[in-house]
Structure 1
Amino acid sequence: MKLKNWALLVILGLLLAVLAACGGDDTEESGESAESAEGTEETAEEPAEEGEQVLNFINGDAIPSMDPSMATDEYGFQFIGSTMEGLYRLDENSEPVEGIATDHEVSDDGLTWTFNLREDATWSNGDPVTAHDFVYAWQRAVDPATGSEYGPYMMGGVIKNAVAVNSGEAELDELGVTAEDDYTLVVELENPTPYFESLTSFGTFMPLNEEFVEEQGDDFATSTDTLLFNGPYTLENWTSTANEWDLVKNESYWDADTVQLDRINHVVVKDPTTSVRLYEEGSVDRAGISSDLVDQYSTHEDYAVTPETSVFYLKLNQKRSDELANENVRHAIARAFDKDALVNEILNNGSIVANGLVPADFTPMPETGEDFREVSGDLMTYDVEAAQEYWETALEELGTDTVELELLGGDTETSKVMNEYIANQLSTNLPGLEVTLKNVPFEQRLDADTAQDYDIQVAGWGPDYLDPYTFLSLWVTDGGNNKMSYSNEEYDALLEEAQTTLATDNPARYENFLEAENILFEDAAIAPIYQSAMAQLISPKVEGVFVNPFGATYEYKWASVGSAE
C-alpha cells in the first residue's frame, strides 16, 4: 500500500493503526482533529430512509487521490477498492474470488496468464468493462508520462517489459498485457510470480475506461463527476478536498444483488476523543480508541482489537543528512528508544514491538510452516548501552560532539505524542543529539517523502500480497519507496535472484529473504518501531466487514446492517 511503488499504507495511530499499505508508502495514525470536529456532530450521520441499510464511518483524513495509477496511500486504495473491481477481489478468508475475471489459465512455465472476463460487467456510465480497459490502465500505470509511483513499483519485474517501458526503452504496446478479444486478457510475466492472482486485486491493477479518462484530462479522478465506477459502490459528494463523502450501492455492478448496504457515510475527524464522542452519541458506527481511552473502554461491550500486518519504522535518510550516512549513527538511533514503553503506554491498542521488518503472523516458511518472523528473529532491539557505544564511535568518526536532526511525522494527536516520545528518547539516550520535530498533515508528509525532504521520518507499510517481497522490495537501490538513498549490492542481488532464477523454488526464495532482512539491519537501514493493531468501538449492527491483510484495509462488498440488540 504503500505506499508508492508498492503500496499500502496503513493508518498509524490509535484511532486506526494502519500502512501506508501500506504504502502507500507509509501510513499514519488516523484520528480526528479538533478543528474538524466543529460541525461534525451534525453531519456525521445522514438519516437513513425507511428500509435503507446505512452505516456511518469516520476517515482519518481526506482522500489524496482516487486515480488508480497515482494513489499511493491507504485512504486512496481503500476507496478505490470499494468503488472499483479488478480481475479478482479478496473474500473473507483473503482468498481471490471472481471479480471481472471468471477464471484463468496459467502456462506450464508460469509466464503466461490468460484471464476470461465476464460479459455482464459495466461501468457506471453503461459502457461494458472489457479487456481493453485493463490494457489501457496497466499501460498508463507504467507510462513515464503518467508519473505513477506505484505502477512501476507494482509491475516492475512482474509484468513483462514494465521496467523497459517505464524507462523509455520500450514502447507502451510492448508491455506484456494484451486483449485477445473484448473478454480475454492475456498477461505475460517477466518471471513466474506465485502471488500474481492476489496481486490483481490491488488498486494499481484496476481497469480504466480510456475514452472517459482521456476526455477528463487533468480533471480525471478529482471529483465524483470525473470518475467512473465498476465496483460494489460509487463514491458520491466527493472532491479532492472533501471532508465528507458517501459510498452508495452501485446498482449497475454485476453482482449488485450481493451488496446489501445502500450507503456508507464518511466524515473526516482527526481527534480520537471526538471520534469516541460521536460513537457514544450514535452518530458513527465505528471509532478508533486512542491510548488514553483504551483503559476506559477496554471493558466496553463494543470494544475490539484487530491485529494487523502493518509495520512502522523510522526511515533514516542518507541523502539529506551527512550524519545519517554514517552507519554507526543509524545503529545508535535504531537502538536508542524503548519500544515496549511506546506500544504499552503510548499506543496501548494491541500493537506489538517490531524488531524486524517482515511482520509476525504474516507468512509461513514454505516447507516447515514456521512463521517467517520467528525464524528470522529479533534483528534490532532496544539496547541503550549498545546504542551509546555506536554513538561514541560515530561522533569520533564525524569529528563532532553535537548532531542536529529533524524528525518528520504526522499531525494527529497520537502521532504528536509518539513523535515527542521518540525525539525525547533519542536526545536523552544519545548525548549531544538534538532532535527537532516537524509534524505535518498526511499528504504533506507523503510529498516530503517523495522529495526526500526529511532527516528521520516515522513511516509504515502495509503489505500488498502475502509474500515477504512486498516488504523487502521497499529498500532495493533506487526503488520507488526507498526514498532514503539506502543501497546495498548484496541485498539487491538476493532479491533479484529471489524473483528470477529462484522464482519457482519457494524454499530457496525464502532463504534469500531471510538473508536479505538480516543485511538490512546489519546496515541499520531503518529502525523498526511496532506492528500495528486497531483498537476500536464497533457497533454490533456492523456485519460482514472484512479486514484484509493487504491492499484496502476494509472490504465492504459483503457488509450489512444487522440488529444492534
Structure 2
Amino acid sequence: MTRLFLTTALVAGLALPALAVQPAEGEKLAENQSYTFWLLDAIKTADPQKNTDVEGSDIIRQLFEGLLNEDDKGAPVPGVASGFDLSEDKLTYTFHLRPEAKWSNGDPVVAGDFVYAWRRLANPETASEYAWFMELMNVENASAVVKGEKQPEELAVKALDDHTLEVRLSTPTPYFPKMVTHGSTFPVNQKVVEAEGDNWTQPGKLVGNGAYVLKSHDLGVQISMEKNPEYWDAANVVMERIKGLTVNDNNVALTRYQAGELDRVQIPAGQYPRLKEQFPDQAISIPYSCTYAYLLNVSEKGPEALKDVRVRKALSYAMQRDVVVNQILQGGQKPAYNWSHWAIEGFQMPEIDYAGWSQAERLEKAKALLAEAGYGPGKPLKLTLQYNTDENHKKIAVAAQQFYKQIGVELTLNNVEWKVHTDRMQSQDFEMARYAWCADYNEASTFLDYFRSTGMNYGKYSNPEFDRLMDQSKTSEDPNAQYTAAEKILAEDMPLVPVYQYSKVDMIRDDIKGLPTENVMNDWYAKDIYRIQK
C-alpha cells in the first residue's frame, strides 16, 4: 500500500497536520471576529445526506467535517482523516482518522460514524436525492444498494477500528479523494439522528463535528453559528461567529452590504464595472464552476413539442448568449454552448458547431427548424419558462422572452419561490426551467453524470450511447476523450439550453481575509477566515 497525503497533487509521504490560519505579515487581528454572508434562498435542510443546494452545502461545511477538506486552490487536504493508504490495485482506500476529532456534544468521531452516514445516503429509505453520488464514487455495491437490490450493510465501507475506515471501489477512480470533500459524504451522529428523527437538524438538537455549532435558524430570515469548542482544531479557528442572512432581492442585499450589514454579497447583474471602479479592493470576478441553463422537460410529463429535437435545437440557437453576458450580467461570465464549465480541471472543450456561427446564422437556423417541426404563423410554439425569485433570473427570462419572440415562440414566464421551483422540477412539473449546476468536485464527470439516465436529470433525458460513454469514462486511462464525446451528444440531443458559465462576482469587505479566490469550486470554510484591523 502507498501512504498518501494530499497537496495540490497526490504525493507519497506522511500525513501532516492541517495548516492553521496565519495572518499575513503586518496584519493585526480585529477584536470583532464575526462574518455575515448573503443567502438568496431559505436553507431547505442542514442534513448532509439530504441537502441538494449550494447554499445548504455552505452551511453544512461549517457544521460538519468530512474525511478531507479543500485548500484555498481546491486541492484535497486533511479533515477528520489525517491521511490515507491506497492499495496497489487502486481499489481500496484506508483512511486514518485523527483520534482527537469530537462531536459537538463531546462524543468521539469514529469510523463507524462515516459507515452509518454513507449507508444512510445510499439507503432508499432515506430518499436522498444525492444517493446517486455514492454510485458516482464507485463504492462497491453502491448501485445495488441504491436500487434496493442489496442491503445498506453490503455497501463496501467498513470500520476496521474506531480510527480506521476502509472503502472498496468497484473500479479505480483517480478523483475519489476530491469526492469525499462533498457534504453528502460527511458523518452524522447516529445516536442523535435516531433519537430526534426529522427534527435532529434544529438548533439545540443538531450535533455536528465541524468548526461551528448551530445557534439559531429562522427559516428564510437568518442562520447563525458560533465556534465549536469541541472541534479538534478549535485552537486555530479565529472567526468566532458566522451568520447567513436570507435576502431574496439581490439589489436589497447590495444595499444592506453598503450599510455594513453584510460582509459578502453577490453583485447584481450589470453593476460589476461600476463597483469595480469605485471599490477595486472589494469587487471581485473569478471563475466559478457552475453553468446556467434552461432545462427542457423531455419526460412523458413534458410538452409534446419538446420531444422534437428540432424544437429543442431552435430554442438553444435562438438564445442570445452574448447579450446575456455582455449587456445584462457584465461580470466576466462566458457564453455557454456546452454543459461542463470551461475552468474544470483537465476538461477539454469540444468543437460544437453552433458555437462558431454568428447570432444571425443561429436565428435563421432556429426559424427553419421550427418551420420543419410544423410551427410558424398561425401555429406559434407556446411554452412556459419557470424560474425562481431573483432579479438576475428575471432579467434573463425577460430577455429570453424577446429572443424567442424573434423566432415565433410565445414564452410565458412563471416566477415561483425556490422550494416550489425545486419541488416542481423534481416531479417533472415544468416545461422549461431555469437551472444551474455547480460542480460537486473539480472534474468534468460532476457535470456530465447529471444527464445519465440514472442521474439527477430533472428533465429525464436519456440516451444509451451517452450512458455508455460515461460508464466507459470510469475505467478510461484518459476520460476526457469520453467527456468530449458526451458533450457532443448533448449538443446534438439538446436536452437543455446552455446560457452562460459562471464567474463568482461578489463584493467582499477588504478587512475579511482567507476567503478562497483561486478555487474554481468556490467552497469556503469559515475556520480559515479572519477579520483584520483597518
TM-score normalised to structure 2 length: 0.89
- Give the AA of the match of 2:428: Q
Q: CA deviation at 1:390?
A: 1.1
Distance 1:549 1:295 in 2: 23
Q: CA deviation at 1:76?
A: 0.9
Q: Note if contact 1:355-1:378 (Cα within 8 Å) is conserved in structure 2.
A: no
1:194-240 Cα deviation digits (max 9, x unpaired): 1111111100000111111100112122x22231111111222115x
1:138-158 Cα deviation digits (max 9, x unpaired): 000010101001122343461
Q: Work out which of the residue numbers 79, 91, 108 in structure 1 matches 2:71.
A: 91
Distance 1:172 1:547 in 2: 39
Could you say which residue in structure 2 is the equivalent of 1:336?
A: 318
Could you say which residue in structure 1 is the equivalent of 2:400?
A: 422
Task: Report SS of the residue matched to 1:464.
Answer: coil
Q: Note if contact 2:284-2:506 (Cα within 8 Å) is conserved in structure 1.
A: yes
- Superposition pairs of residues 50-89 of structure 1, within 5 angstroms: 51-89=31-69
Q: Note if contact 2:39-2:246 (Cα within 8 Å) is conserved in structure 1.
A: yes
Q: Work out which of the residue numbers 86, 93, 96 in structure 2 matches 1:116.
A: 96
Task: Report SS of the residue matched to 2:469.
Answer: helix
Q: CA deviation at 1:171?
A: 1.1
Q: CA deviation at 1:287?
A: 2.4
Distance 1:236 1:304 in 2: 31
Q: Work out which of the residue numbers 202, 206, 217 in structure 2 matches 1:227.
A: 206
Could you say which residue in structure 2 is the equivalent of 1:272?
A: 250
1:429-460 Cα deviation digits (max 9, x unpaired): 222x2211111112221111100110011111
Distance 1:92 1:83 in 2: 19
Q: Note if contact 1:309-1:549 (Cα within 8 Å) is conserved in structure 2.
A: no
Task: Report SS of the residue matched to 1:238.
Answer: strand
Distance 1:112 1:99 in 2: 19
Q: Note if contact 2:111-2:159 (Cα within 8 Å) is conserved in structure 1.
A: yes
Correspondence 1:558 to 2:528: yes
Could you say which residue in structure 2 is the equivalent of 1:471?
A: 447
Could you say which residue in structure 1 is the equivalent of 2:498?
A: 528
Could you say which residue in structure 1 is the equivalent of 2:161?
A: 181
Could you say which residue in structure 1 is the equivalent of 2:15?
A: none
Could you say which residue in structure 2 is the equivalent of 1:321?
A: 303
Q: For the structure 1 residues 416 and 131, does the alpha-carbon distance in structure 2 shift closer, same or farther, using more than 3 Å as the test?
A: same
Q: Work out which of the residue numbers 450, 473, 491 in structure 1 matches 2:466.
A: 491
Q: For the structure 1 residues 291 and 552, does the alpha-carbon distance in structure 2 shift closer, same or farther, using more than 3 Å as the test?
A: closer
1:418-437 Cα deviation digits (max 9, x unpaired): 111112211x2222x22111
Q: Work out which of the residue numbers 360, 367, 370 in structure 1 matches 2:342.
A: 360
Q: CA deviation at 1:267?
A: 1.4
Q: Kindly report the root-mean-square deviation, in angstroms, between the aligned alpha carbons of the 2 structures.
A: 1.9
Distance 1:549 1:190 in 2: 29
Could you say which residue in structure 2 is the equivalent of 1:130?
A: 110
Task: Report SS of the residue matched to 2:306.
Answer: coil
- Give the AA of the match of 2:369: Y
Q: Note if contact 1:406-1:438 (Cα within 8 Å) is conserved in structure 2.
A: yes
- Give the AA of the match of 1:438: N
Q: CA deviation at 1:523?
A: 1.0
Task: Report SS of the residue matched to 1:226.
Answer: coil
Q: Note if contact 2:253-2:265 (Cα within 8 Å) is conserved in structure 1.
A: yes
- Give the AA of the match of 1:483: Y
Q: Note if contact 1:64-1:75 (Cα within 8 Å) is conserved in structure 2.
A: no
Q: CA deviation at 1:548?
A: 7.4
Distance 1:339 1:57 in 2: 30
Could you say which residue in structure 2 is the equivalent of 1:345?
A: 327
Q: Note if contact 2:242-2:526 (Cα within 8 Å) is conserved in structure 1.
A: no
Distance 2:195 2:188 in 1: 12
Task: Report SS of the residue matched to 2:223.
Answer: strand
Q: CA deviation at 1:280?
A: 2.1
Could you say which residue in structure 2 is the equivalent of 1:402?
A: 380
Distance 1:54 1:123 in 2: 23
Could you say which residue in structure 1 is the equivalent of 2:189?
A: 209
Q: CA deviation at 1:391?
A: 1.0
Distance 1:242 1:272 in 2: 15
Structure 2 residue ranges without an equivalent (≥5): 1-29
Distance 1:512 1:55 in 2: 43
Distance 2:148 2:377 in 1: 44
Q: CA deviation at 1:400?
A: 7.9
Correspondence 1:281 to 2:252: no
Distance 2:210 2:342 in 1: 32
- Give the AA of the match of 1:175: L
- Give the AA of the match of 1:390: L
Q: For the structure 1 residues 281 and 61, does the alpha-carbon distance in structure 2 shift closer, same or farther, using more than 3 Å as the test?
A: same
Q: CA deviation at 1:324?
A: 0.2
Distance 1:297 1:156 in 2: 41
Q: Note if contact 2:139-2:156 (Cα within 8 Å) is conserved in structure 1.
A: yes
How many residues align? The count is 497
Q: CA deviation at 1:264?
A: 1.5
1:349-408 Cα deviation digits (max 9, x unpaired): 2211111111112222xxxxxx512x5456656510111111111116x99822221101
- Give the AA of the match of 1:493: R
Correspondence 1:539 to 2:519: no
- Identity of counterpart residues, as a percentage? 31
1:65-106 Cα deviation digits (max 9, x unpaired): 111111001111111011110100001121111111111111
Task: Report SS of the residue matched to 2:305.
Answer: coil
Task: Report SS of the residue matched to 1:323.
Answer: helix
Q: Note if contact 1:308-1:534 (Cα within 8 Å) is conserved in structure 2.
A: yes
Q: Note if contact 1:407-1:438 (Cα within 8 Å) is conserved in structure 2.
A: yes
1:158-194 Cα deviation digits (max 9, x unpaired): 1111110111111111001010111110001121111
Q: For the structure 1 residues 399 and 286, does the alpha-carbon distance in structure 2 shift closer, same or farther, using more than 3 Å as the test?
A: closer
Q: Work out which of the residue numbers 73, 77, 100 in structure 1 matches 2:80.
A: 100
Distance 2:57 2:117 in 1: 15
